[in-house]
Amino acid sequence: MKVQVAHLYHGNQFRGYGLAVNGEVIDQVASIDISTQPGKIPTATVVFYLDEEMIDNPVRIDLYKSKCQR
């Protein structure tokens, strides 16, 4: 899995930043706060909007296996 900051454009106009995983922009991002400090690795704090399906139908992830289970 490759996580990247995404530069979002509408035509040639820069609209802001997003977050992408494997080249796909993640939906429902409310905000991203990118923090940089000299001599430290930059960090990003991402806030997501949660909808009813996300809350009522969670994915089970077994940390000892590599696949998601529903």
Task: Write down the domain spans for the chain.
Answer: 3-69
Secondary structure letter of residue 63 according to DSSP:
T
61 backbone dihedrals φ, ψ, rounded to 5°? -120, 120
Distance CA 26, CA 16 (A): 14
**Residue 52 backbone zone (phi > 0: left; psi -120 to 50: alpha; other: beta):** alpha
| pLDDT tens digits, 7-65 | 999 999 999 888 999 999 999 999 999 999 999 999 999 999 999 998 999 988 888 87
Predicted pLDDT at 28: 92
